[in-house]
C-alpha cells in the first residue's frame, strides 16, 4: 500500500484545515453567547448562588490547591519511576559529563561493530 | 543610496550578516560610556540591520538557490582560486536550511533585545547587549559557514557568550553555578567536535564541508571517518539537550535572564542544525548511517518521554518550560531520524520526506513558541519576583494580556490547534506512523503528557483566588508586551497558514539536505 501522506496544501485527508477550525470555533462561540443570553437577567452574585452544591453539606471554606499538590495521584502511581528519575538528576557536573561519555562510548561501539560486520 | 551601493550590500550580505553584529558588539560598550542608555537603541538598530540582511539572504536563497561567499576573493562566488582544486578560503555556504535558521535566530534576537530594554534589570553596562550581539554573531556564523574549522570557531563564540549571559546576574549563586555547568559541558562537547574535525582534516586534507563530503562519499569510508561521525554526532546531541545528556538544560534555562533564555533555546537548535548537516549532507550515503538515524530516534523518544514526565514534576516555572523544551527536541530528533533511516527506502518519497519536512517545520515553530513561553514567564517574574508556582496565583485579573500570551505559547507547545505546534506535530505523527507506529504512539502520548504541566502552570499562575501579596501588581510594561505579541502573532500565523511554510521553506530545506551533489557543486 502506498502510504499517501497529504501535505498542507488544501485540506488534508485527515480533515484538518486551520481556517475551517477557526470557523467552527466562531460558530461554537456564537452558540455559547446565544445560550448565555437565555440566562436570568437580574442575577446577582453572592449568597452562595455561584457555589457548587455539595450534596446538602455546608459550603467549604475556600482553599487554594498549591501547584505541587496537582496530580498527586499520578505521582503516587508512578512513584518508582520518579524516585529513579530524581535520583539520576543529581545536579553534579561530573554526572553530566559521565552521561555524555557514556553516550559517546555507546555510539562509537555501535558504529565500530557496524563497520566490522559490514566489512 | 545609489543602486550600486544597494547592489554592493546585497552581494556582500552573507558576510555582513556576521560582520554587523560582531562589530556592533564591540562598539556597544564604548557607546554606553559616551551616550549611556542610548546603547539599547544602538543595539536594536544593529539587530534590525542584521535582520534586514538575513532577510535579503533568505529571499535570494529561496529564489536563486544555494549561495556561496568566499571571504577575500575578488569575486565572492569564486571559491577555487586559480590553480587550486580544493577550496582554501573561509567560505560561507547558505542553503534554505541555513537561511531559515539564520532568519529565526536573527528574529528572536531582535525580539529578545526589544523585550530586554524594559524586561532585564541590572543592565549596568554595555556587557549585556555586547554578549547578546556576540551570541547572534556566533549563531549566524555557525549556520552560514561552509567549513568545519569555522563551525568550531563560531560554536565557541556562541558557547562563551552564552556562558557570560547565563551567569549574567553574578550576585546569584545559582546563576554562577549554571554558568559553570554550561561552560564545562560546552568545553567537553567542543573538545570532541574539535577532535573529530582534526581526524577529518588528517584523513582528507581539507576543512571545507563540501570537499570533505565529496571525498568521503566518492572515495569510500575509512574507520577515521566513522569515528569522526560518532564524535560529531555525540557532541551536537549533547548541545541540543537530548536525553540523557539534557541535565544542563533546566539549569541554564532556569537561571539566565529571560530574554537570554529565549535566544539560548534557539542556540541549542544550532547544534541540531549541525547534526543534520553532518548526518545528511556529509554522511547521507554512508551504508551504516542507520546507526546514527536510530541513535537519533532512540534519544528522541527518550527525550519525548523523560522531558514530558519531568516537566510534570516541576514547580519552578522556568524549569517546567525547559523540560517541556527537551520533549520538543525529542519530536525533531524522532522526525529527522526517521527521515535519515528512510533514505534509500522505496517509500522514502511517501513518508521520509514528510517526516523531514515535519521535523524542520517543528524546529522553526519550537524556536518561536518556546521563546514566547520564556518571555511570558519573564513577565510574571518581573511583576511578582518569584517563579515558584506554589507562591503564584490569580494573576489573570492583574495581567490579562500576559495570561493570553502565555496561553498561546502553552497551546503551541502542547500541540493544540490552531497554533503552529499542532501543524508541525500532525505532520510528524502521520509520517512517523508509517515508519514505525510505536514511535508515533510515543510522540502522541508525550504530547498529551506535556499538556498537563502546561495546564498546571496556567492554573497555578493565572487562575484561582487572588494572592494578597500580589494585589498591587500591574500589567507587563508595553515594550515587553510588544515583544511577546510579535512572537504570538508568528505562532498563530504559522499555525493558520502552515501550507505556505511547509511548501516554501520546510520542503526546500529538506530537499537541500538530501541533494548533496548540489551542495558540492556550488564549491567544487
In a domain, A112, yes or no: yes
DSSP string, B159-217: HHHHHHHHT--TT-HHHHHHHHHHHHHHHHHHHHHHHHHHHHHHHHS--BHHHHHHHHH
Nearest CA in chain A to B246: A96
A36-45, B286-295, B431-440 — which is least confidently predicted? A36-45
pLDDT score of B376? 96
- 8 Å CB contact of A107 and B230: yes
For residue A119, tell me if it sits in a domain. yes
Residue A47: band (very low, low, confident or very high) from pLDDT cuts 50, 70, 90: low
Encode pLDDT of B172-188 as tens digits.
999 999 999 999 999 99
The confidence score (pLDDT) of residue B326 equals 97
The answer, for A24 touching chain B at a CB cutoff of 8 Å, is no
- List the single residue in A16, A81, A100 with the smallest CB-CB distance to B188: A100
- What residues of chain A lie within 8 A of the CB of B238, using their CB? 100, 103
Q: Does A119 touch chain B (CB under 8 A)?
A: no
* 3-class DSSP assignment, residue B145: strand
Compute the nearest-CA separation of B426 from chain A (Å): 9
pLDDT reading at B420 higher than 50: yes
CA distance B446 to B432: 14
Q: Which of residues 180-209 of B touch A (CB under 8 A)?
A: 180-181, 184-185, 188-189, 192
B183-213 burial, b at 16+ Cβ within 10 Å, e below that, comes to: bbbbebbbebbbebbebbeebbebbbbbbbb
Question: Residues 40-69, chain B: which have Cβ within 8 Å of A?
Answer: none
Percent of chain A topping pLDDT 70 = 71
Q: Does residue A99 lie in a domain region?
A: yes
Instruction: Report chain B's mean pLDDT, rounded to a whole number.
Output: 92
pLDDT of residue B218: 80
pLDDT of B403 higher than 90:
yes
Kindly report which listed range (A7-21, B28-42, B179-193) carries the lowest average pLDDT score. A7-21
Identify the residue among A18, A28, A73, A87 best suited for mutation to test binding to B, counting B beta carbons within 10 A and taking the highest: A18
The residue among B189 and A11 whose pLDDT is bigger is B189
Place of cell 549533547: B238
pLDDT of residue B381: 95
- Count other C-beta atoms under 10 Å from residue A75's C-beta: 15
Q: Show the CA angle centred on residue B406, arms to residues B401 and B412, nearest 5°.
A: 130
A111 part of a folded domain? yes
Once rounded to an integer, what is the mean pLDDT over residues A35-47?
A: 79
Render pLDDT for A81-110 as a digit per residue (tens, 0 to 9): 999 999 999 999 999 999 999 999 999 999
Task: Report the gap between the CA of A35 and the closest CA in chain B (Å).
Answer: 24
> A76 in a domain, yes or no?
no
Closest Cα to residue B17, out of B56, B66, B67?
B56
Q: How many domains does chain A divide into?
A: 1
Is A10 among the domain residues? no
> Which position has the grid cell 499538556?
B451
Question: What pLDDT is stored for residue B12 in this prediction?
Answer: 94
Residues 340-399 of B with CB under 8 A from A: 347, 350-351, 354, 357, 389-390, 392-393
pLDDT at position A9, please?
43
Is A3 within 8 Å of B312 when comparing Cβ atoms? no
Percent above pLDDT 90 for chain B: 77
Per-residue pLDDT band at A1 (split at 50, 70, 90): very low
Arithmetic mean of pLDDT over chain A: 80
Q: What is the pLDDT of residue B38?
A: 83
Of B113-122, B157-166, B457-466, least confident by mean pLDDT is B113-122
Model pLDDT for residues B204-245, shown as the tens digit of each residue: 999 999 999 888 888 888 899 999 999 999 999 999 999 999
Q: What are phi and psi of B94, to 5 degrees?
A: -120, 110
Give the model confidence (pLDDT) of B133-158 as tens digits. 999 999 999 999 999 999 999 999 99
The SS3 call for residue A105 is: helix
Q: How far is B363 from chain A (nearest CA, A)?
A: 17
Confidence label for A10 from pLDDT (cuts 50, 70 and 90) = very low
- CA of A50 to nearest chain B CA: how many angstroms apart? 15
For residue B445, what pLDDT is reported?
A: 95
Chain A neighbors of B298, CB-CB under 8 A: none
B313/A75 Cβ within 8 A: yes
Tell the burial category of B1 from Cβ atoms under 10 Å away from its Cβ (0-12, 13-18, 19+).
exposed
Cα distances from B334 to residues B266, B391, B509, in angstroms, run 19, 37, 17
ipTM score above 0.90: yes
Instruction: Compute the distance between CA of residue B461 and CA of residue B387 in angstroms, rounded to an integer.
Output: 9
Residue A13 lies in a domain: no
Check residues B522 and B453 and name the one with the higher pLDDT.
Answer: B453
Average pLDDT rounded to a whole number, residues B420-445: 93
Q: Say if residue B53's pLDDT is above 90.
A: yes
- What pLDDT was estimated at residue B125? 61
Residue B17 touches chain A, beta carbons under 8 Å: no
Interchain contact, B503 vs A9, CB within 8 Å = yes
Task: Give the model confidence (pLDDT) of B75-84 as tens digits.
Answer: 888 888 776 7
Beta strand segments in B254-306, E: none
Looking at per-residue pLDDT, the higher value among B499 and A14 belongs to B499
Q: Which chain A residues are closer than 8 Å to B229 by Cβ?
A: 111
d(CA A63, nearest CA chain B) in Å: 9
**In this model, does residue B31 exceed pLDDT 90?**
no
Inside any domain, residue A1? no
For B286-305, b/e burial (b = at least 16 CB within 10 A) is bebbbbbbebbbbbbbbbbb
- A89 with B181: Cβ contact below 8 A: no
If phi over 0 gives left and psi between -120 and 50 gives alpha, with beta otherwise, what is residue B304?
A: alpha
Q: Does B423 touch chain A (CB under 8 A)?
A: yes
Higher pLDDT, B434 or B347: B434
CB of A78 within 8 Å of a chain B CB? The answer is yes
Task: State what percent of residues in chain B have pLDDT above 70.
Answer: 99
| Residue ranges making up the domain that contains A111 | 92-119
What is the value of pTM for the model shown? 0.93
Q: Confidence band (pLDDT; 50, 70, 90) for A61?
A: low
Q: Contacts of residue B357 in chain A, CB cutoff 8 Å?
A: 7
| Least CB–CB distance from B418: residue in A4, A22, A115 | A22
- Tell me which chain B residues have a C-beta less than 8 angstroms from the C-beta of A25: 418
Are the CB atoms for B169 and B127 separated by under 8 Å?
no
Q: Which residue of B has its CA nearest to A75?
A: B313
**What pLDDT is recorded for position B327?**
97
Q: What is the pLDDT of residue A51?
A: 66
How large is the average pLDDT for residues B338-360? Answer: 87
Q: Is the pLDDT of residue A115 over 50?
A: yes
**Residue linked to cell 523531514:** B356
Amino acid at each position: 500500500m502506498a502510504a499517501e501522506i497529504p501535505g498542507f496544501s488544501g485540506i488534508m485527508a485527515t480533515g484538518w484545515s486551520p481556517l475551517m477550525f477557526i470557523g467552527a470555533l466562531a460558530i461554537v462561540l456564537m452558540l455559547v453567547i446565544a445560550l448565555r443570553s437565555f440566562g436570568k437577567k437580574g442575577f446577582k452574585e453572592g449568597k452562595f448562588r455561584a457555589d457548587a452544591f455539595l450534596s446538602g453539606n455546608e459550603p467549604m471554606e475556600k482553599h487554594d490547591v498549591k501547584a505541587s499538590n496537582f496530580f498527586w495521584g499520578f505521582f503516587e502511581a508512578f512513584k518508582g519511576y520518579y524516585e529513579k528519575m530524581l535520583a539520576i538528576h543529581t545536579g553534579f557536573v561530573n554526572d553530566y559529563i559521565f552521561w555524555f561519555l557514556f553516550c559517546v562510548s555507546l555510539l562509537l561501539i555501535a558504529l565500530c561493530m557496524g563497520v566490522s560486520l559490514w566489512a | 543610496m545609489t543602486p550600486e551601493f544597494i547592489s554592493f550590500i546585497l552581494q556582500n550580505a552573507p558576510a555582513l550578516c556576521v560582520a554587523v553584529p560582531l562589530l556592533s558588539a564591540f562598539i556597544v560598550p564604548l557607546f554606553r560610556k559616551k551616550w549611556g542608555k542610548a546603547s539599547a537603541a544602538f543595539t536594536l538598530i544593529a539587530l534590525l540591520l542584521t535582520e534586514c540582511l538575513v532577510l535579503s539572504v533568505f529571499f535570494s536563497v529561496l529564489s536563486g538557490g544555494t549561495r556561496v561567499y568566499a571571504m577575500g576573493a575578488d569575486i565572492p562566488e569564486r571559491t577555487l582560486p586559480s590553480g587550486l582544486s580544493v577550496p582554501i578560503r573561509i567560505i560561507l555556504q547558505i542553503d534554505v536550511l541555513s537561511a531559515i535558521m539564520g532568519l529565526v535566530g536573527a528574529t528572536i534576537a531582535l525580539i529578545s533585545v526589544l523585550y530586554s530594554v524594559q524586561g532585564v534589570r541590572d543592565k549596568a553596562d554595555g556587557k549585556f547587549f555586547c554578549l547578546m550581539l556576540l551570541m547572534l554573531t556566533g549563531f549566524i556564523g555557525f549556520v552560514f559557514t561552509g567549513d568545519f574549522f569555522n563551525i568550531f570557531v563560531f560554536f565557541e563564540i556562541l558557547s562563551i557568550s552564552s556562558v557570560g549571559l547565563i551567569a549574567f546576574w553574578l550576585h546569584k549563586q545559582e546563576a554562577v553555578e549554571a554558568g559553570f555547568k554550561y561552560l564545562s559541558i560546552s568545553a567537553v562537547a567542543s573538545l570532541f567536535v574539535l577532535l573529530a574535525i582534526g581526524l577529518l582534516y588528517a584523513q582528507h586534507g581539507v576543512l571545507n564541508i563540501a570537499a570533505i563530503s565529496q571525498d568521503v562519499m566518492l572515495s569510500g569510508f575509512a574507520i577515521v571517518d566513522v569515528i569522526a561521525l560518532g564524535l560529531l554526532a555525540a557532541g551536537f546531541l549533547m548541545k541540543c539537550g537530548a536525553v540523557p545528556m539534557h541535565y544542563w538544560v533546566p539549569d541554564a534555562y532556569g537561571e539566565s535572564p529571560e530574554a537570554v533564555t529565549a535566544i539560548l533555546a534557539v542556540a541549542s537548535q544550532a547544534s541540531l542544525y549541525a547534526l543534520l548537516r553532518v548526518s545528511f549532507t556529509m554522511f547521507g550515503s554512508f551504508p551504516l548511517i542507520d546507526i546514527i538515524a536510530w541513535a537519533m530516534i532512540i534519544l528522541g523518544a527518550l527525550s519525548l518521554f523523560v522531558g514530558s514526565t519531568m516537566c510534570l514534576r516541576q514547580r519552578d516555572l522556568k524549569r517546567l518550560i525547559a523540560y517541556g523544551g527537551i520533549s520538543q527536541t525529542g519530536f525533531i530528533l524522532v522526525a529527522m531520524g526517521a527521515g535519515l533511516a528512510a533514505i534509500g527506502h522505496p517509500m522514502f518519497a511517501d513518508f521520509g520526506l514528510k517526516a523531514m519536512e515535519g521535523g524542520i517545520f517543528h524546529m522553526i515553530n519550537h524556536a518561536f513558541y518556546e521563546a514566547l513561553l520564556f518571555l511570558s514567564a519573564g513577565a510574571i517574574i518581573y511583576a511578582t519576583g518569584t517563579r515558584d508556582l506554589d507562591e503564584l496565583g490569580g494573576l489573570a485579573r492583574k495581567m490579562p494580556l500576559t495570561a493570553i500570551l502565555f496561553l498561546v505559547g502553552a497551546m503551541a507547545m502542547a500541540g493544540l490547534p490552531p497554533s503552529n505546534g499542532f501543524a508541525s506535530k500532525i505532520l510528524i505523527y502521520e509520517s512517523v506512523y508509517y515508519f514505525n507506529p510505536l514511535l508515533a504512539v510515543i510522540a502522541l502520548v508525550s504530547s498529551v503528557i506535556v499538556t498537563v504541566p502546561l495546564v498546571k502552570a496556567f492554573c497555578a499562575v493565572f487562575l484561582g483566588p487572588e494572592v494578597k501579596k500580589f494585589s498591587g501588581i500591574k500589567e507587563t510594561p508595553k515594550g515587553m508586551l510588544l515583544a511577546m505579541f510579535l512572537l504570538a502573532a508568528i505562532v498563530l500565523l504559522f499555525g493558520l497558514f502552515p501550507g505556505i511554510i511547509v511548501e516554501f521553506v520546510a520542503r526546500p530545506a529538506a530537499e537541500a539536505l538530501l541533494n548533496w551533489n548540489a551542495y558540492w557543486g556550488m564549491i567544487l
